[in-house]
Amino acid sequence: MSIATWFKGVRLPRGAAFGPPTPLPPPQRIYLPLRQHRGAVCQAKVEPGQQVGMGQVLGSSDEFDSAAVLSPVSGTVEAIRNCADPAGQPVPTIVIANDGQDIWASPEGEVRPPLSDPAEVAKARPTRLLRRIREAGLVRAASQGLPLHVDLSPPMAPRSYLFMTGIPVVRPTDTLVIRALDHDPPVCPNQAALAGLNLTELDLGVTALKRISGAARVILALPAGAVSGELTALARLREWEIRTQSQTHFPYCLDNLLVLGITGREVPTPYGEPRDVGVVVEPLVTALEVGRVLISAKPNLERVFAVAGDVAKPQAFVARLGTPIAEAIKAAGGAVGEAGKIIVGGPMMGFAHFDAQTPITKETEGVFVQAAEHVRRYDDHPCIHCGRCVACCPVNLVPAELSKLCEFQRFEEAAEADLFHCIECGVCAYVCPARRPMVHYFRHGKSEVLARRMEQ
Ligand code: SF4
Ligand code: SF4
């Protein structure tokens, strides 16, 4: 059965088909930002010169919205200094010289006995499973992902914006969606994970996520044409539903729009989440990580991500956390053509970077390389009122008007015109013939409004 989409949005060119992720050898030097999630920054628990083992806690925080940073290699802490994280923000970062020995900090890295029987997981206490997930330092595999134990925990207090929506304040979760659709194709880590699917890990991971979320219904959201016989058989056995969607119709695989397409429930905007309408959405990569953590009883020290765009061999990799993106681009055959841009994330919603030593973190979905000839040059040309952006905006805004308000620093008026409903999908900038830097205007406008409100 297909997932509903609408006439808005855009059709993106079909990128390279990804095979199973290729393992990348651990690099000589690892860079680990002390914040690899949306939430509190961890405090460093090691000092320069200290020897560390695999799985050792390098940074942690008492705040609930934080995920511990664990060492993915054994070696020596070289330095703790500020480096750019995947969103381009300076974050304290631990630099480790890898000794190549892969010695675990605790015997065999085990922190708890393995949990590998789906029947046992299906009956396990949710708090027990959540503790495992927190100890493993798992983060939802998405740009600015929440720590997974936070993402899966029901809200502690009703969120104020829900009072105005007429939605019951805490709606019980009844549906779990496992999203094998990628947010920003052609960067497709979930598609690669699907190509090399480990059904045992998927079975266990989805069973654990179902148990924790309390959902009665599980839906696999898959790219059209990527449904294998084994997966269909497992889905039938476990009574999971399968829904498909084209990977090229952007941005309908973003979580809120996906929930609308699958369940018909509209997530309240601008600050709503699928949980507010009784749905939990987790990426396929995350479900597999949960399964792997439970089976191995070891923490998560790797990330599946894709390298796409102007590289010789676009492909997916599985690499130790903290591996510089330069190593991944080299392994993908290197950049093709004159150097243009390196974007962490995808071409529509990612962040351009100036430093190829930026590491792969728990949030990284991929890297998109653009040769100079493909870089879209923005200009502050005036809007020609062609209306294309209005026709394409998937959340029914009037981007032309918003961009003009932000351009001329009328930020409060932009906020009143629903600036904060913009999901920064980049569709309006993609279609704009005047090449206006729409998303830049919106991000700047939002940050100005928030800064002014903080001052008041
Ligand atoms: S970036 Fe914002 S305004 Fe532009 S199309 Fe996407 S949601 Fe609409
Ligand atoms: S697409 Fe660009 S030029 Fe056309 S109305 Fe929108 S902002 Fe103006």
Q: What is the DSSP string of 14-47?
A: P-PPP-SPEEPPPPSEEEEES--SSSPPPEE---
**Identity at 225, one-letter amino acid code:** G
Locus of tokens 């396990």: 124
Range 159-194 burial, b when 16+ CB lie within 10 A, else e: beebeeeebeebeebebbbbbbbbbbbbbbbbbbbb
Alpha helices in 282-371 (DSSP H): 284-296, 325-331
Ligand 1, atom 4: closest residue by C-alpha? 428
Q: Is the CB of 424 under 6 A from ligand 1?
A: yes
The finding on whether 423 has its CB within 6 A of some atom of ligand 1 is: yes
Give the residue from 234, 207, 218, 128 showing the smallest Cα distance to 173.
218
Whether the bond into 186 is cis, omega within 30 of 0 = yes
CATH number attached to the domain at 302-374: 3.10.20.600
Q: Confirm or reject: Cβ of 386 under 6 Å from ligand 2.
A: yes
Query: How far does residue 393's CA lie from ligand 1's centre (Å)?
Result: 5
Look-up of token digits 């960067």: 187
Measure the CA–CA gap between 137 and 189, rounded to whole angstroms: 20
Q: Which of the listed residues 256, 428, 436, 442 should we mutate to test ligand 1's pocket, taking the one with most ligand atoms within 8 A of CB?
A: 428
Query: Is 401 exposed, middle or buried, given 0-12, 13-18 or 19+ CB atoms closer than 10 A?
Result: middle
Measured in degrees and rounded to the nearest 5, phi and psi for residue 66 equal -140, 145
Domain ranges of the chain: 10-15+116-155+168-296, 22-109, 302-374, 388-455
Give the three-class secondary structure for 233: helix
Task: Provide the greatest CA pair distance for the chain.
Answer: 66
Spell out the per-residue pLDDT of the chain, length 456, in tens.
777 776 788 888 777 778 899 999 999 999 999 988 887 889 999 999 999 999 999 999 888 888 899 999 999 999 999 887 777 778 999 999 999 999 998 765 455 788 889 999 999 999 999 999 998 889 987 766 788 888 887 665 555 555 555 555 567 889 999 999 988 888 889 989 999 899 999 999 999 999 999 999 999 999 888 788 899 999 999 999 999 987 778 888 889 899 999 999 988 878 788 888 889 999 999 999 999 999 998 888 999 999 999 999 999 999 999 999 999 999 999 999 887 899 998 888 888 888 888 899 998 899 999 998 888 777 778 999 999 999 999 999 999 999 999 999 999 999 999 999 999 999 999 999 999 999 999 999 999 999 988 887
Ligand 2: which atom is nearest the Cα of residue 390? 6
- CATH number for region 22-109: 2.40.50
The reply to whether 10-15+116-155+168-296 and 302-374 are identical in fold is no
Question: CATH classification of 10-15+116-155+168-296 is 3.40.50.920, yes or no?
Answer: no
Q: Is 354 left (phi over 0), alpha (psi -120 to 50) or beta?
A: alpha
User: Of the bound ligands, which one is closest to the alpha carbon of residue 432?
Assistant: 2
CB 346 near ligand 1, within 6 Å: no
Q: Is the CB of 73 under 6 A from ligand 1?
A: no
Confirm if 64 and 392 have CB atoms less than 8 A apart: no
Q: Which atom of ligand 2 is closest in space to residue 400's alpha carbon?
A: 7
Q: Does the beta carbon of 188 lie inside 6 Å of ligand 2?
A: no
Asked if 265 and 75 count as a contact pair (C-beta separation under 8 A), the reply is no
The residue nearest atom 8 of ligand 1, judged by CA position, is 393
Name the residue with the closest Cα to ligand 1, atom 5.
Answer: 393
416 contacts 429 by C-beta, under 8 angstroms: no
| Residue 244 to residue 224: CA distance in whole angstroms | 5
Q: What residue's CA is closest to ligand 2, atom 2? A: 432
Bridge-based pairing state of the strands 279-283 and 175-179: parallel
Instruction: Please give the model's pTM, rounded to 2 decimal places.
Output: 0.89
Q: Whose CA is nearest to atom 1 of ligand 1?
A: 424
The count of other CB atoms within 10 Å of the CB of residue 234 is 18
Distance of CA 425 from the midpoint of ligand 2 (Å) = 15
Report the alpha-carbon distance of residue 289 to residue 140 in Å, rounded: 10
Whether 67 is in the pocket of ligand 1, judged by its Cβ within 6 Å, is no
